[in-house]
Structure 1
Amino acid sequence: MKLTTTLTASSLILSACLLSACGDSSSTADAEGGSDSASASTSASGGMILTTDLPEERLEGTPIPNKVPNLVQPPTEAPKITVPEGSTLLSAGKPVTASDDFTIVGDIAYITDGDKQAGEGYYVEVIDGLQWVQIDLEATHNIDAVWVWHFHSQRRAYHDVIIQISDDESFESGVTTIYNNDYDNSAEMGQGKDAPYIESRFGLLVDAKGQAGRYVRLYSNGSTANEMNHYTEVEVFGRPVE
């Protein structure tokens, strides 16, 4: 049922050449860039360029105003980062818990089921207010990247998006924050330095820089559309701890 987009061999060669020419592994990929196996291709600058299946564009409803300071507009191409050789998708089918067990729409298991398409049947709606969802990788890994799709069938921005990694299931110790766009400290977890962004089919790709941990926790606090929290898919990439 899942639709995918695939880079051709020529596109991969062209991408590698472009990266080599500019020397910047953080540049963006082709708008149709992605792989059909949530993998990574070899980068000319070393390591691998992370790729994944990308959902199709499906915008619905009336556009809404997104009145958020320093808001990053949706990309026209897939984000791209370089990760170490051997980095793979860790989160597929892994257990998910949440700060509130009650879901208004969907099932919390949708978050790691591999389906990223827009529309009902693909996303879970969690109760309003500051809430979190948490993925258990079932073993400690060096986490290289976290890729998040909240709700991409409407151009909206989610508030207080904070992503943390820990070996402590309760997140009371050994916590590392890899992303925080809470510009006014409304979540009372420290003012974030990352810019708020508008949801799109390309999701949010965060470089976790090999941070070790078993659990990944993601916070949000409603959006510019409504007070509810939504997740379509979260992918965690990394390697076993040596």
Structure 2
Amino acid sequence: NGTNYVFFSSTTAGGYQLYLGDASTGQRWSLSQFGVNNDTTKAKLGSNYYAGTTAAATQQTVLLSQGKPASASSSYSSSLGPAYAFDGNTTSTRWDSIEGVAGTQWLMVDLGSTRTINGVDLYWDAGAKVYSIQTSNDGVNWTNIYSTSNGVAYGHVALANLKGSGRYVRMYGTQRATQWGYSLDEMQVWGY
């Protein structure tokens, strides 16, 4: 729009202060609101960065799901129930859904309160080709925070950088990747 902006420093306000100026009109704006002029002992002869913090930056990501109440759409047997997918054992215990016409099945954990979710680790014994990771605050209305139609038959899948929140988190499988039912040695939900 015909304006020319420049960064410049000035001692007009006392000490070196950094400004943004419009060279065409002479209007200037102090960058103090972004924290760039906080150190009055050093000359600010160039642009700086805003070192503010965000809530996410101050939170420590932790494992939220281990030992929490779990449920599932089905279980192959009582020794392969949903709680075994949240017991901390990634190799020797597991949840299995029914086999045969397993179709759509889900495994859910109750985190006890609404939490921010930023990662899920799935340790598949028998995987899902098509599935979603979903969150909910009430266990009724669900939001997808991850979905794929190219899931693995078995092995560890780490889903990082997820963005979601909820009290309940579930794996919602709609197509199996094997002839067996869905089976997870462990499902770990990470966040804060």
* Structure 2 portions without partners, runs of 5+: 1-53
Which runs of no fewer than 5 residues in structure 1 stay unpaired? 1-46, 48-82, 183-194
Say whether the 8 Å CA contact 2:127–2:183 is kept in structure 1.
no
Shift of 1:158: 1.9
The structure with the greater share of residues assigned to strand is 2
The residue that corresponds to 2:42 in the other structure is: none
User: In structure 2, what is the equivalent of residue 179 of structure 1?
Assistant: 146
Of 197, 211, 231, the match for 2:152 = 197
Deviations 1:17-65 (A, max 9, x none): xxxxxxxxxxxxxxxxxxxxxxxxxxxxxx9xxxxxxxxxxxxxxxxxx
Report the Cα distance in structure 2 between the residues aligned to 1:199 and 1:113, rounded to whole angstroms: 19
1:168 and 1:148 map into 2 onto residues whose CA distance is: 23
Within 5 Å, give how 1:20-35 maps onto structure 2. Answer: none
Change in 2 beyond 3 A, CA 1:238/1:84:
farther
Q: What is the Cα-based RMSD across aligned positions, in Å?
A: 2.7
Q: How many residues align?
A: 135
Could you tell me which amino acid in structure 2 is paired with residue 167 of structure 1?
N
Deviations 1:57-95 (A, max 9, x none): xxxxxxxxxxxxxxxxxxxxxxxxxx8741111111001
Residue 103 of structure 1, CA deviation: 2.4
TM-score, normalised relative to structure 1: 0.49
Partner of 2:96: 125
Identical counterparts, % of pairs? 29
Asked whether 1:214 is paired with 2:167, we answer yes
1:84, 1:103 → 2: CA distance?
Answer: 42
Distance 1:125 1:198, change over 3 A: closer
Q: State the TM-score, normalizing by the size of structure 2.
A: 0.61
Offset, 1:203: 2.5
Secondary structure in 2 matching 1:137: strand
State the one-letter code of the partner of 1:180.
S
- Where do 1:104-123 residues align within 5 Å? 104=77, 106-117=80-91, 121-123=92-94
SS of the residue corresponding to residue 197 of structure 1 reads coil
After superposition, give the CA deviation of every residue in 1:117-170 in whole Å (9 maximum; x if it has no partner): 1xxx4122111221001110001111111111121xxxx652221110110212
Instruction: Report the AA paired with residue 140 of structure 1.
Output: T
* Kept in 2: contact 1:178–1:207 (CA 8 A): no
The reply to whether residue 103 of structure 1 matches residue 76 of structure 2 is yes
3-state SS in 2 of match to 1:160:
strand
The 3 A distance-change label for structure 1 pair 222 and 141 is: same
